[in-house]
């Protein structure tokens, strides 16, 4: 095996493991039902968080807002000093609240985060089954409630999967017919693919408040892929082959996200239409990069010397 070919193979093996680890999707990434807030009491403002599961409650004129548990006892509190949780309340684990230091003014309450909002998941406020729900509150001593519902969301048009197939085939076909293979075009396509591969997991991780390991791995794969390809630039076939290997690894997580093309709700901070476009465009760019590499490795058609006709005699 030639040294440059061995280097390309080693590059592929080195990137396969981390890329495979990043190829999974966030659990509950897509579905067809969403939570909506139907009514909320005066003095408060509540929205559905980006993950579609948690509520974000803020004061809007009220002095103290308390979230009551299923027994009608205060479990969470929001005042001018921030969010608090009642120490030892059994419902805290269900509410997905992280607690901190006790309140120096009242040890019965512990810190429940920073800022001016309470972020929590109340029982019964999420699911795939359509229903109405309510979250009991006490606002400045008055018993009220946030009212909401789980509603069905229409699925996107079939034009998305059909367009994805057409665009991928068109990108691959166009790059295959170009002669000689276009190195600059392959780098431009790879750059666009890298943007999609980094942006999508970043938006998903930000929505569920987790570390964006998928975006980090995709960025590393893209950087190492370009660096390796540039180191092999004296051999066009190996250069484009290395870039194609990196493109395949970046495209694997996008293949796992093709379900976004057929579901109405996507858990992400990115606009759903933009995420679908990034998935489709990223896969088309990957197909183009792979096609350029395939064209570079394509065996050249040469006529054998025995098949050549003798030149006519002069005169």
Stated as kind and residue range, the H or E segment containing 78 is: strand 74-79
Same domain, 107 and 194: no
Residues 53, 119, single domain; the answer is: yes
> DSSP code of 104?
S
Q: In DSSP terms, which residues pair with 111 in a beta bridge?
A: 84
Q: In terms of domains, do 52 and 160 share one?
A: no
- Is 304 domain-assigned? no
Please tell me whether residues 161 and 284 are part of one structural domain: yes
In a domain, 167, yes or no: yes
- Contact predicate 117/132, CB 8 Å: no
Indicate the pLDDT class of residue 2, thresholds 50, 70 and 90.
low
Of the residues 124, 152, 180, the one at which a domain ends: 152
- In the prediction, which pLDDT does 249 show? 94
- 272-297 and 236-256 are packed helices; what angle lies between their axes, rounded to 10 degrees? 150
Residues 100 and 238 in one domain: no
Segment 169-179, tens digit of pLDDT: 999 999 888 76
pLDDT band at 305 (very low <50, low <70, confident <90, very high): very low
When divided into structural domains, the chain yields a total of: 2
Write out pLDDT tens, residues 51-100.
888 999 999 999 999 999 999 999 999 999 999 999 988 898 889 888 88
If asked whether residues 177 and 147 sit together in one domain, one would say: no
Does 65 share its domain with 144?
yes
Residue 88 is assigned to a structural domain of this protein: yes
**Bridge pairing between strands 82-86 and 33-39:** unpaired
pLDDT in tens, 229-259: 999 988 888 999 999 999 999 999 999 899 9
* Domain-embedded: residue 177: yes
Residue at 257 is within a domain? yes
Q: How long, in residues, is the chain?
A: 315
**What would the pLDDT profile of 124-165 be if each residue is shown by its tens digit?**
998 888 999 999 999 999 999 999 999 999 999 999 999 999
Q: Are residues 219 and 266 in the same domain?
A: yes
25, pLDDT greater than 50: no
Indicate whether 43 and 58 sit together in one domain.
yes
In this predicted model, which residue has the larger pLDDT, 24 or 219? 219
pTM: 0.79
Of 152, 169, 191, which residue constitutes the final position of a domain?
152
Pair (39, 172) in one structural domain: no
Q: Are 68 and 80 in contact (CB under 8 A)?
A: no
Both 24 and 159 in one domain: the answer is: yes
* φ/ψ bin of 26: left (φ > 0), alpha (ψ from -120 to 50), beta (otherwise): beta
Residue 313 in any domain: the answer is: no
Please report which confidence band the pLDDT of residue 211 belongs to, taking 50, 70 and 90 as the band edges: confident
Cα–Cα distance for residue pair 179/299, rounded to 1 Å: 13
The domain in which residue 175 lies consists of: 3-28+154-297
């Amino acid at each position: 095996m030639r040294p440059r070919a061995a280097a390309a193979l080693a590059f592929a093996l080195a990137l396969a493991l981390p890329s495979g680890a990043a190829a999974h999707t966030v659990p509950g990434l897509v579905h067809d039902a969403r939570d909506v807030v139907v009514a909320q009491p005066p003095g408060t403002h509540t929205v559905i968080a980006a993950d579609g599961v948690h509520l974000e409650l803020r004061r809007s004129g009220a002095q103290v807002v308390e979230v009551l548990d299923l027994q009608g006892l205060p479990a969470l509190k929001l005042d001018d000093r921030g969010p608090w949780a009642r120490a030892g309340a059994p419902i805290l684990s269900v509410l997905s609240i992280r607690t901190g230091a006790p309140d120096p003014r009242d040890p019965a309450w512990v810190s429940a985060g920073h800022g001016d909002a309470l972020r929590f998941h109340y029982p019964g406020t999420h699911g795939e089954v359509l229903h109405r729900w309510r979250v009991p509150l006490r606002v400045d001593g008055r018993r009220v409630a946030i009212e909401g519902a789980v509603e069905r969301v229409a699925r996107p048009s079939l034009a998305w999967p059909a367009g994805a197939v057409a665009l991928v085939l068109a990108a691959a076909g166009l790059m295959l017919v170009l002669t000689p293979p276009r190195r600059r075009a392959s780098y431009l396509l790879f750059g666009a693919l890298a943007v999609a591969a980094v942006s999508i997991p970043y938006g998903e991780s930000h929505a569920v408040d987790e570390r964006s390991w998928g975006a980090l791995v995709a960025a590393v794969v893209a950087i190492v892929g370009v660096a390796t390809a540039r180191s092999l630039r004296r051999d066009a076939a190996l250069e484009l082959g290395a870039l194609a290997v990196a493109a395949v690894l970046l495209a694997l997580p996008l293949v796992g996200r093709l379900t976004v093309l057929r579901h109405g709700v996507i858990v992400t901070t990115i606009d759903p239409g933009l995420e679908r476009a990034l998935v489709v465009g990223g896969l088309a760019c990957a197909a183009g990069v792979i096609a350029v590499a395939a064209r570079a490795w394509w065996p050249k058609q040469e006529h054998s010397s025995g098949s050549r006709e003798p030149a006519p005699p002069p005169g």
